[in-house]
Amino acid sequence: MPKKGLSMRQIRELLRLKSCESDLSARALAQRLGVARSTVQDCLARMTAAGLTWPLPAELTEEVLHQRLFSRSGAKTGQRRRPEPDWPALVREMKRPGVNLTVLWEEYSQVHPGGYGYSRFCELYREFELRLSPTMRQHHVAGDKVFVDYSGKKIDIVDPATGEVKTAELFVAVLGASNYTYAEASWTQTLPDWIGAHVRMFAFFGAMPRLVVPDNLKSGVHKPAFYDPEVNRTYGRMAAHYGVGILPARPYHPRDKAKVEAGVRFAQTYILGRLRNVTFFSLAECNQAIGLALERINGKVMRRLGTTRRDLFLAVEKPAMRPLPETPYEYAEWKRARVNLDYHVEIHGFFYSVPHGLIREEVEARITAKTVELFHRGRRICSSALALVLPELRHLRSNRPFSRPS
């Protein structure tokens, strides 16, 4: 509401009377409007400072008029407005490691010695941050976290030979600081597809963050817990290969994964919404279309920040991330087995020989798409070509990573 008890209707009437009957005194104007003379004097001073004349433009809304008259509440008439920082640029800078509001205020003060004090500067920054997202509560440092999850919506893919319609899952990953997004379709949410999606995600980024934050998906987390969730062993091995940590979202804490949930909704709009009338006949064809949609998502200017996800990723996030290892992670399953009396170990119906000194000993088998490696107490004892390509590993070869920005 306008200050001093004047409604917007009274303000417009005051401006009209002052313009049409300029000889009226402040006391006479106050009597006509039924308000105090000091209220009229204050409002007239504000109108003069704002440069308002009658008639007002038709496009001047009440909100804009209120802003022009009362945005500098408490300031003396004629006082110069303090220089405003570039708030979108400061939000981007806050994503850089080691940057905080104290650093940004000191830099602002060097350029504008008569500008806002530190407390007011922080208050205005928080107000702008809330306008970006009314539920924003977390500050994401560049290169720190990537949030991963599956969308609840699925994509239909038609078998060209039989006409049967199959559904594919949509994997979505969002980097915390830049909102840079990756997505792909896979047939299932099982461990091979889950791990494969991560490998292709890292290849798409061309670098690695410090932490991966998944939902408590059964493929990645054996035992959801509030403080110490148990991560799947294969998932843990993949994380160790890339040198990243796994930090599952806490159960019943949706804010822990708010970033990926927002990314999932955005991806559903841009990918599933725009591709809903397109018929796909293969997973590769579907992923090619998703790749084009990702180009649009990451190239779209974010209105509040004035830059794209890709530009923010290249300028702020990627320099803070670590380089990829020389070779991508190769998916492997682990299985415990006991050496038989004939010093052979059975793996998926096939037998592999080991040194006879290990008879009755327990060994661990690492099974990839091409090989079987056997370990005893952490030491590899033999390696052999896989006798049969496992059906659950066979379809992984059809998924290929998308190109990444240079």
Task: Please name the residue that has the structure tokens 């415990």.
Answer: 336
**Residue 240 belongs to some domain of the structure:** yes
Give me the helix-helix angle, 26-33 and 37-50, nearest 10°.
110
Nearest CA to 266 out of 217, 227, 302, 241 is that of: 302
Is 326 domain-assigned?
A: no
Last residue of a domain, one of 22, 44, 70: 70
Indicate the pLDDT class of residue 321, thresholds 50, 70 and 90.
very high
Domain membership of residue 29 as a residue range: 3-70
CATH number of the domain bearing residue 339: 2.30.30
* Confidence category of residue 257, pLDDT binned at 50, 70, 90: low
96-100, 183-187, 299-303, 395-399: range with highest mean pLDDT: 183-187
What residues pair up with 383 in beta bridges, in sequence order? 373
Residue 69 predicted with pLDDT over 70: yes
Residues 43 and 165 in one domain: no
Q: Residue 334 and residue 394: Cα distance in Å, rounded?
A: 17
355 and 257 in a common domain: no
First to last CA, the chain: 52
Regarding whether 179 and 273 lie in a shared domain, the answer is yes
* Residue 399 resides in a domain: no
pLDDT tens figures, 203-238: 999 999 999 988 755 554 544 433 344 567 788 888
Mark whether 165 and 240 lie in a shared domain: yes
Two tokens at 359? Answer: 């008879």
pLDDT of amino acid 399: 47
Residue 139 located in a structural domain = no
CATH of the domain at 30: 1.10.10
Do 22 and 154 sit in the same domain of this protein? no
Mean of pLDDT over the chain? 78
Domain boundary residue among 269, 288, 320?
A: 320
Least-confidence region, from 95-99, 310-314, 329-333, 379-383: 95-99
Residue ranges with strand state E in 161-208? 165-175, 181-186
The answer on 265 and 127 residing in a single domain is no
Of the chain, the percentage scoring pLDDT greater than 90 comes to 18
Residue 313 has pLDDT above 60, yes or no: yes
Distance (Å, rounded) from C-alpha 213 to C-alpha 145? Answer: 7
Q: Is 33 part of a structural domain of the chain?
A: yes
Of 103-112, 212-221, 265-274, 327-336, least confident by mean pLDDT is 212-221
Do 307 and 162 share a structural domain? Answer: yes
Task: Single out the residue in 45, 70, 95 at which a domain terminates.
Answer: 70
Domain annotation covers residue 405: no
- If asked whether residues 191 and 269 sit together in one domain, one would say yes
- Higher pLDDT among residues 317 and 114, named by residue: 317
10 Å CB burial of residue 81 (0-12, 13-18, 19+) is: exposed
Q: Are residues 10 and 51 in the same domain?
A: yes
Whether residue 115 sits in one domain with residue 159: no
How far apart, in whole angstroms, are the C-alpha atoms of residue 140 and residue 123?
19
* 222 shares its domain with 295: yes
Tens digits of residue pLDDT in 124-178: 887 777 766 544 445 678 888 898 888 878 889 999 888 899 999 999 999 988 8
Q: What is the mean pLDDT of residues 325-347?
A: 85
Tell me the percentage of the chain whose pLDDT exceeds 70.
78
In a domain, 76, yes or no: no
Q: How confident is the model at residue 395 (pLDDT cuts 50, 70, 90)?
A: very low
Query: Span 282-298, mean pLDDT?
Result: 91
Residue 73 banded pLDDT, cuts 50, 70, 90:
very low
Domains in the chain: how many in total?
Answer: 4
Whether the model clears a pTM of 0.75, i.e. scores above it, the answer is no
The residue-averaged pLDDT of 296-306 equals 82
Q: Is residue 108 part of a domain?
A: yes
Q: What is the pLDDT of residue 398?
A: 44
Instruction: Find which of 12-21, 70-79, 256-265, 317-326 is predicted with most confidence, using mean pLDDT.
Output: 317-326
Q: Supply the pLDDT for residue 166.
A: 92
The per-residue pLDDT for 254 is 52
Same domain for 62 and 91: no
Residue 44 to residue 263: CA distance in whole angstroms: 49
